[in-house]
Amino acid sequence: MSRLPLIGVTACRQMLGKYASHTVGDKYVEAAAFAGLPLVLPALSTPTDPQLLLQQLDGILFTGSPSNVEPHHYQGAPSAEGTQHDPLRDATTLPLLRAAIAQGVPVMCICRGFQELNVTLGGTLHQRVQELPGFLDHREPHSDSLAEQYAPQHGVTVQPGGVLERLGLATQFQVNSLHSQGIDRLAPGLRAEALAPDGLIEAVSTQDSPGFVLGVQWHPEWRFLENPESLRLFEAFREACQAYAQTRNPS
């Protein structure tokens, strides 16, 4: 291969003090760098044409965020007061994700990105899982320590016959948990890959898309080199991006 794959990394639009800013966590950029050369994708007031971006990219990492997808995108009830939203990110990521899947560009979707994947393909979301009968509280621990916030919180059970099983992941393993939203109705075309103990869907893949598509509700990017399951996920993403780049730029 003559060059590294170019990996898009979605950014958020939020205020830092009095300045409107594009932000993306370093952990996502570092994880994308494992697969290729990261390129931060801004959430512009006038979104870039997805096709123009896809002409340049060999993979996209759809990141987590403090914000939630606006509920009108899935005909949901209005959000609770104080819920963070990022309409400029929605306007960028939802069309881009749909186009990337259709074109076969490898995508990996984490936390908010996981929820974007379900919404983009026609699914719905629970907005406050912790308030639903029979469900765990999936929010992060109240701690100033990142190590405690990202520590394993519950197990997931890998469903047979899917991508995670083919990647050689254990039938059950532990994951962190830092979210209040979750999948309600699974989108048509998505397959549940892993479930939490309460039955909440924690990982998905697509059934008939031409390229690699994987979404996880937890945060495998956190110290991914130290966790064998996380490392395997990013190895698979890297392999898919390299293969896609090779088809676009054969040596």
Phi-psi region for residue 138, left (φ > 0), alpha (ψ -120 to 50) or beta? alpha
Active-site positions?
Answer: 111, 219, 221
| DSSP one-letter string for the chain | --SPPEEEEE-EEEEETTEEEEE--HHHHHHHHHHSEEEEE---SSPPPHHHHHTT-SEEEE---SSB--GGGGTPPPPPTT--B-HHHHHHHHHHHHHHHHHT--EEEETHHHHHHHHHTT--EES-GGGSTT----SPPS-S-HHHHTS--EEEEEPTTSHHHHTT--SEEEE----S-EESSPPTTEEEEEE-TTS-EEEEEESS-SS-EEEESS-TTTTGGG-HHHHHHHHHHHHHHHHHHHHHS--
Tokens 């936390």, residue?
111
Residue 14 neighbours by CB distance under 10 Å: 18
How far is Cα 84 from Cα 251, in angstroms, rounded to an integer?
A: 46
Sign (positive or negative) of CA dihedral 149, 194, 116, 68: negative
